[in-house]
Amino acid sequence: MSEPILEVTDLVKHFPVQVGVLFKRTVGHVRAVDGVSFSLARGETLGVVGESGCGKSTLAQVLMRLERATSGSVTFEGRDIFSLRGQELRRLRRDVQIVLQDPYTSLNPRMTVGDLVGEPYEIHADVAPRGERRRRVQELLELVGLNPEHINRYPHQFSGGQRQRIGIARALALRPKVIICDEPVSALDVSVQAQVMNLLGELQTRFDLSYVFIAHDLSVVRHLSTRVAVMYLGKIVEIGTDDQIYEHPTHPYTQALLSAVPLPDPEQRGRREVIRLTGDVPSPVDPPSGCRFRTRCWKAQDLCAQEEPPLVDRLGHPSACHFAEERPRIVPTSA
Amino acid sequence: MSTVYDGESGEFVPPQEIAAAQDESLLQVLGLQVEFRTRDGVAKVLNGVSYHVNAGETLAVLGESGSGKSVTAQAIMGILDTPPAFVTGGSVTFKGEELLTASAERRRMVRGEGIAMIFQDALSALNPVFTVGFQIAEQLRLRRGMGKAQARAAAIELLEQVRIPHAAGRFGDYPHQFSGGMRQRVMIAMALALDPEVLIADEPTTALDVTVQAQIMDLLAEIQRERAMGLVLITHDLGVVAEVADRIAVMYAGRIVESGGAREIYRRPGHPYTVALLESLPRLDLKGQQLNTIKGLPPSLTDIPPGCPFHPRCRLAQDICRRQVPEPVPLDAARSSACHFTGELMDRV
Ligand SMILES: Nc1ncnc2c1ncn2[C@@H]1O[C@H](COP(=O)(O)OP(=O)(O)OP(=O)(O)O)[C@@H](O)[C@H]1O
Ligand SMILES: Nc1ncnc2c1ncn2[C@@H]1O[C@H](COP(=O)(O)OP(=O)(O)O)[C@@H](O)[C@H]1O
Ligand code: SF4
Ligand code: SF4
Ligand SMILES: [Mg+2]
Ligand SMILES: [Mg+2]
């Protein structure tokens, strides 16, 4: 196997919880990301799924070096991203880009599309000489399926799906190697979502891009990912290839998550196994001892409260459960 | 026989459009037209919406954002803001009684007791400065004439019914003290307080995580069964619809383009828009490659294309589609589709 382009080891990001106005006191920590490891191969898409607040966006922010890690390491092409300086740091800022969820707030409303997509060239002037920028921007617009003549329009003159394309064009401007996509299609309607997903797929093949693709929609993730990581309360509980996670999940949380996704097929009503979790996700400030999922897990035993299950490979791919096992009929195989 | 309210003349006239109107329908919407008059022009938001729901039945109203799902619901409830919204035609009947021309007093009575509604965003639907218990009990006191203790007991019972753990202990909590899923339960309890016969749920789980969404959908289905309520479930989620709907009404640009039984529509959609929606969906049970997309965007409602509103995006469009609005035609007793080429489409598959 070739060397991974991105390697994340024991990554931790805690946010202090502070009280008091004048004299701030730290009374605890939000353990947003709490020991996450994975690697991303060149040209691959790693899907990251999990419920709201499980740490997906925090992970994205740390991978972008927009937040400093509390501990652990992230290496890009073999180099620790937190120790990069000067020229090397500039290089990282070119090679790793992000596309965000909200096409309504992630673009500055006072900038034209041309300015927005071309802005990265202001900072990285060497990538495109000044005289060439307009043409470059128009090429990018065309690439993502926008009309190059609309270069002087403002974001509000575009629909949600088109704004997401602007965000993608901007991320592509510096010819990155990795794009972190944080819920890039979650705010879009089905018909438009499909357009943007296809676009991301085409661009990946064309430019040999590697994606970390964060989403809460498991169907979207299955469609685009080669491997998938399932997160719960700041930790990866199961990771594997697309088939391993969707067809042979062994962690109870993955199984419950998959079983809760409604299938767009009335014929499947009553034919699937239904696992219903009770209660909500506990607070990441004070996660349960041992296995973090135990307060909602139907298989929990005494051991689960005492000992944290490590993410180890016992049944073909890593799963963090003391009692990991396959379970049939979670996702029916389609005709 | 129901008649249709004509906003121009202010009179009732026979319906131009006969939907699969059924006498036992609890709630029936017929040819409903609503426009928003704004500075930017007139947006024709509803252009003849017809659907009905019977007791004990779940109707899913399916459509992408902006298609008019919520505006229809607000018109039924009588909670549209006028101006800018104006009902310019059509009819809404509840157990045979016309609501659009009913007095404000009468409509208030029907709200809550006849038809209740829950919303996507529970936090903004609940009053932040009152405890949830107070908000439920107050309704019971004002509308049911209950005393304080009785209303409190009834409110706690409702909270228990929607499975709020330790309901009595949480009676005095404020909305922000509940998680998203719990708030949705509280809102459902509040909607059930006056024992409505129809519940309209407008994207009740869109803001929730999938495991919590499943809990709330189970709860709604159970309550509906127990009370034999008519449930109008508004959603854009084709998965949720497939799991719970008896019948479906598909909306596009302020019209119902197709309606009928859920199984039948999924098995053999009768409108090109429905076909395209189903094909553009990534699926959990299929590792797909390229998704079939619908080209372009839904139309701007200030500028709806002539003829069939779907024609600029439709793969089957012909000349007639650009000229003539397709009326809903019955395919069988329970199904209809508004497309000039439904016949051809259904023969293909
Ligand atoms: N700057 C911050 N300060 C304090 N807590 C934070 C901060 N950013 C995130 N958190 C907390 O960290 C946890 C993880 O948040 P994060 O945004 O990564 O979740 P997520 O998985 O992206 O959720 P969603 O699906 O809702 O986007 C949450 O409990 C969140 O409230
Ligand atoms: N208060 C309002 N003023 C102007 N236009 C509105 C207002 N409320 C809704 N609309 C318009 O009506 C159309 C239908 O909206 P809505 O029923 O909310 O769609 P849906 O619920 O199907 O997403 C949209 O184009 C929307 O912009
Ligand atoms: S370790 Fe125990 S509590 Fe955790 S997922 Fe496995 S069985 Fe459930
Ligand atoms: S009427 Fe014509 S344009 Fe409209 S859906 Fe049917 S075929 Fe397509
Ligand atoms: Mg997030
Ligand atoms: Mg709506």
Tell me the mean pLDDT in the region A23-28: 85
The closest-lying atom of ligand 1 relative to the alpha carbon of residue A283 is: 29
Taking the CA of residue B291 and the nearest CA in chain A, the distance in Å comes to 6
- Asked whether the predicted pLDDT for residue A80 surpasses 50, the reply is yes
Contact check, Cβ <8 Å, B218/A193 = no
Tell me the mean pLDDT in the region A295-307: 96
Tell me the mean pLDDT in the region A83-93: 93
- For residue B209 the two structure tokens come to 């995580």
Say if ligand 1 is within 6 A of residue A52 CB: yes
Query: What are the pLDDT digits (tens) for A145-200?
Result: 888 989 999 988 887 888 889 999 999 999 999 999 999 888 888 888 888 899 99
Say if ligand 3 is within 6 A of residue A327 CB: no
Taking the CA of residue A68 and the nearest CA in chain B, the distance in Å comes to 28
Say if ligand 1 is within 6 A of residue A57 CB: yes
Chain B neighbours among A 171-190 (CB < 8 Å)?
Answer: 189-190
Which helix H or strand E contains A194, and what residues bound it? helix A190-207
The closest-lying atom of ligand 2 relative to the alpha carbon of residue B63 is: 22
Is A246 in CB contact (< 8 Å) with chain B? yes
pLDDT the model gives residue B18 = 40
Query: CA angle, A41 as apex, A39 and A47 as ends, to 5°?
Result: 70
DSSP string, A48-99: EE--TTSSHHHHHHHHTTSS--SEEEEEETTEEGGG--HHHHHHHHHHEEEE
Tell me how far apart the alpha carbons of residues A62 and A76 are, in angstroms, rounded to a whole number.
12
Query: What are the pLDDT digits (tens) for A247-258?
Result: 999 999 999 999
Looking at residue B211, what DSSP letter applies?
A: H
Which residue has better confidence, A107 or A5?
A: A5
Looking at residue B334, what DSSP letter applies?
A: T
Domains present along chain A, CATH in parentheses: 4-319 (3.40.50.300)
Tell me the mean pLDDT in the region A24-41: 92
Tell me the mean pLDDT in the region B26-55: 93
Query: What are the pLDDT digits (tens) for A109-132?
Result: 899 999 999 999 988 888 888 888
Instruction: Report which of A58, A53, A78 is spatially closest to residue A11, judged by C-alpha positions.
Output: A58
Tell me how far apart the alpha carbons of residues B323 and A99 are, in angstroms, rounded to a whole number.
41
3-state secondary structure of B250: strand
What length does chain B have? 349
Query: What are the pLDDT digits (tens) for B297-337?
Result: 888 888 889 999 999 999 999 999 999 999 999 988 889 99
For residue B284, give the nearest of A192, A258, A269 by CB distance.
A258
- Asked whether the predicted pLDDT for residue B1 surpasses 50, the reply is no
Instruction: Report which of A31, A3, A52 is spatially closest to residue A234, judged by C-alpha positions.
Output: A31
3-state secondary structure of B238: helix
Looking at residue A332, what DSSP letter applies?
A: P
Which amino acid residue places its CA nearest to atom 5 of ligand 3? Answer: A321
Task: Count Cα neighbours of B323 within 13 Å in the Cβ-side half-sphere.
Answer: 3
Query: What are the pLDDT digits (tens) for B259-278?
Result: 999 999 999 999 999 999 99
pLDDT the model gives residue B13 = 54
Environment class of B274 (CB within 10 Å of its CB; exposed 0-12, middle 13-18, buried 19+): buried
Radius of gyration of chain B (CA): 21
Average pLDDT, chain A: 91
Say if ligand 1 is within 6 A of residue A186 CB: no
pLDDT the model gives residue A298 = 93
Query: What are the pLDDT digits (tens) for B56-98?
Result: 999 999 998 889 999 999 999 999 998 999 999 999 999 999 9
Residue A106 has phi, psi (to 5 degrees) of -85, 0
Tell me how far apart the alpha carbons of residues A215 and A164 are, in angstroms, rounded to a whole number.
15
3-state secondary structure of A263: coil
Which amino acid residue places its CA nearest to atom 3 of ligand 4? Answer: B311
- Residue A18: other Cβ atoms inside 10 A: 12
Contact check, Cβ <8 Å, A219/B282 = yes
Domains present along chain B, CATH in parentheses: 4-114+194-348 (3.40.50.300)
pLDDT tier, A63 (very low <50, low <70, confident <90, very high otherwise): very high
pLDDT the model gives residue A123 = 87
Query: What are the pLDDT digits (tens) for A236-247?
Result: 999 999 999 999
Is B207 in CB contact (< 8 Å) with chain A? no
Which residue has better confidence, A30 or B120?
A: A30
Which residue has better confidence, B349 or B175?
A: B175
Radius of gyration of chain A (CA): 21
Alpha-carbon distance values, A236 to A60, A249, B211 (Å): 14, 13, 18
- For residue A137 the two structure tokens come to 């921007």
- Cβ atoms of B27 and B112 within 8 Å: the answer is no
Average pLDDT, chain B: 89
pLDDT the model gives residue B16 = 41
Which amino acid residue places its CA nearest to atom 17 of ligand 1? Answer: A57
- For residue B272 the two structure tokens come to 């090109």
